[in-house]
Amino acid sequence: MTKRNLIPLIIGCTIGCTITIMTTNCTSSTTNKDGGAVSGSREFGKTPSGETVELYTLKNAKGVEADISTYGGVLVSLKVPDRAGALGDIVLGFDDFKGYLLPPPYFGALIGRYGNRIAHAKFKLDGTEYKLAKNNGDNSLHGGTRGFDKVIWKAKPVNGQSLELTYLSKDGEEGYPGNLSVTVVYTLTDNNELKIDYTATTDKDTVLNLTNHSYFNLAGQGEGDILAHQLTLNADRYTPVDKGLIPTGELRKVEGTPFDFRQPHTIGERIGSSDGQITLGGGYDHNFILNRSGEGLSLAAKVTEAKSGRVMEVLTTEPAIQFYTGNFLDGTIHGKGGKVYGRRSALCLETQHYPDSPNHPSFPSTELKPGATYHTTTVYRFSTGS
Ligand code: GLA
């Protein structure tokens, strides 16, 4: 039986949480033990088939706020303080729900069943070949045509500090086997951490790789590019790709390459390098293998932005992280507040298993079997520096 990251994790918010789940046009209101209110949802919009989409707000004692949509489980906005204490929204997205109905960039969305690419949109499991939608050249990307970013999740506020989202992905959905029951819990702690817990069970052998696809710009969404952001990645190796951005199977050392972020570097410093992998990715669009010691949360990445002083640390139980520099953004998308999202106007740090693992037996397994529970946790921790 495949066991993946079954360690329970307890972080942050142990004492004195005053996290609030708020909404405008509240329909109901409850209170957690520390006084935070839990309210009903406000309508964010309607899908073309007439389903109502709701937007929930989590707010902590320090005023940090996260808006989460039931459509795609999208993190629509995340307001965190700069060094002067001023809140700024640091994720790309749309004010109007309709923006999320347009073709990807997957702003803020939950990604499933399989984060990143599966080569030739097929894989074999237990001797059976499963065919997926080809929505990225010859490959399948981020769960297919209607991935978890495009479904409506059932939402339930929990303990006055979290929002629980659930979704049942039926056997055969987007070509994947098994009825898959998925729960994602967003928690905002008083330590300014946004924690995302992913849990899933299946009734048939299947493969699974869940993540969140937030686009961060610590200077504020729409405030220019991220080339001056400083990045540290706790990774000695990465998985080089072919021209379709599918891992070749090689695990390559970062040492001596533009992929070496073991010490902080600005993102722009080597993004124009003639390294063949940078050329293939059009910048950084690669899976980094995290240096881990055992299971549990460990620090994967740290990003700092000098002007605002904002710092983001990413901790995860996952074995890898996709670092993507928004190379496909081209200025055609106008997002929140009418901001133009140009090339490299944000970065993604998608915690995950390796892309195309179902076709690479040497990669850590992404199989989930009946009776086992998939559980992974990722924490985005915010602070400010000098
Ligand atoms: C991931 C991929 C990128 C791109 C974005 C979405 O990060 O690795 O190549 O497809 O998603 O645009």
Distance, CA 61 to ligand 1 centroid (Å)?
Answer: 34
Span from the CA of 116 to the centroid of ligand 1 (angstroms): 7
Give the distance (Å) from ligand 1 centre to CA of residue 162.
28
Residue 33: per-residue pLDDT:
42
Tell me which residues are annotated as active site.
213, 350
Mean per-residue pLDDT pooled into runs of 10, the chain (386 residues): 31 30 38 42 93 95 94 98 98 97 94 98 98 97 98 94 96 98 97 98 98 98 98 98 98 98 98 98 98 93 98 98 98 97 98 98 98 98 93
Measured at the CA of 322, the angle between CA 361 and CA 126, to 5 degrees, comes to 25
Q: Give the per-residue pLDDT at 26.
A: 37
pLDDT at 32: 45
> Which pLDDT belongs to residue 21?
40
Helix, strand, or coil (residue 64):
coil
What CA–CA distance (Å, rounded) separates 71 from 54? 8
* pLDDT of the residue at 103: 86
Give the closest residue (by CA) to ligand 1 atom 9: 285
Beta bridge partners of 285: 324
Nearest residue (by CA) to ligand 1, atom 5, is 105
Distance 278 CA to ligand 1 centre (A): 14
Q: Work out which ligand 1 atom sits closest to the CA atom of 104.
A: 12
Q: Is the CB of 141 under 6 A from ligand 1?
A: yes
The verdict on the CB of residue 316 being under 6 Å from ligand 1 is no
Separation CA 150–CA 178 (nearest Å): 19
Ligand 1 lined by 329 (C-beta under 6 Å): no
pLDDT at 179: 98
Q: Which own/partner contact pairs does 305-308 have at CB distance under 8 Å and 24+ positions apart? A: 305/218, 305/219, 305/228, 305/229, 305/230, 306/228, 306/230, 307/219, 308/82, 308/83, 308/88, 308/218, 308/219, 308/220, 308/384
Q: What is the pTM of this model?
A: 0.92
